[in-house]
Amino acid sequence: MSPKTPKTREQKTGATGRQGSKAGSKGKGSKRQRDRLGGAPKLVLGLVVTVVALGAIFYFSNRPGSSRGPATAGKYPYQVGSPGPGKVAPPIRLASTAGGTFDLASQRGRSVLLYFQEGLTCQPCWDQLKDIEANWARFQALGIGSMVSITTDPLKDLRQRVADEGLSTPVLSDSELAVSRAYRANSYGMMGDSRDGHSFIVVGPDGRIAWRADYGGAPRYIMDVPAGALLADLAKGLGKTQP
């Protein structure tokens, strides 16, 4: 058996150099991998920022009270139910969150905006009321003297909701659906005929219906019409200039 020949300095250095080269290549590969992995969170973050920014733009351009710019009539589709314009408005006598009983007959001599809505379970409906209140001066400019909202919920629950939302508009309780059926406002909701949809009716000073828009009907159930769009439709329907 031959004795082992000692490695020369050059042989040792060459081996080490090859090992170092392999390690260096491995290190470069790991760095490239880390760079790729590091870019993924940045891409995800960029997408999140974009989505949030688009969401913010949509929110601030459609939030209640933000609809002060000019709007085009017909942007939100609606039907015109019966009784419609020109018909005598059916009587309304309902308990009000403002206290006592609201009697439509007592409003003769001024225009009244009736807003039939889905009620307690519909947050967009309450946002709609806030939007109208925030732009009320513009409705008055079209000759609207007062407004009431009508739902099929119990008066006690409506009083609490009105207080929670900080609203001043009287909300009427039509728990037996007598008025809702008379105006057929319960024909345009997502919950069948047990609740109202999203209907606006103007009763003129003479007690006749001057304008009507039922936004809540199928196939596109609309539960919140920006005040600007609502005013545009109302102005066109009444033959007036939009304020």
Residue 35 lies in a domain: no
Residue 80: inside a domain, yes or no? no
Residue 44 has pLDDT above 80, yes or no: no
Instruction: Indicate whether 75 belongs to any domain.
Output: no
Could you tell me if residue 11 is inside a domain?
A: no
**Percent of the chain topping pLDDT 70:** 71
For the cut 80, the answer to whether the pLDDT of residue 23 exceeds it is no
CA–CA distance, 146 with 111 (Å, rounded to integer): 7
**Residue 221 falls within a domain, yes or no?**
yes
CATH number at residue 153: 3.40.30.10
Nearest 5°: CA angle at 220, between 159 and 153? 20
On whether residue 161 sits in a domain, the answer given is yes
Residue 34: pLDDT band with limits 50, 70, 90 = low
CA distances from 162 to 92, 134, 149, 225 (A): 20, 15, 11, 19
Residue 165 placed within a domain: yes
Residue 223 sits in which domain range? Answer: 93-238
Whether 1 has a pLDDT exceeding 70, the answer reads no
Total domains, the chain: 1
pTM of the shown model:
0.72
pLDDT beyond 70 at 88: yes
- Which pLDDT tens digit goes with each residue over 94-138? 999 999 999 999 999 999 999 999 999 999 999 999 999 999 999
pLDDT higher at 196 or 69: 196
Check residue 78 and report its DSSP letter.
Answer: -
Q: What are phi and psi of 120, to 5 degrees?
A: -55, -35
Amino acid at 162: V
**Residue 29: inside a domain:** no
Going by C-alpha positions, the residue among 81, 88, 114 that lies closest to residue 188 is: 81
Asked whether residue 174 carries a pLDDT value surpassing 80, the answer given is yes
Encoding tokens for residue 52? Answer: 């949030």
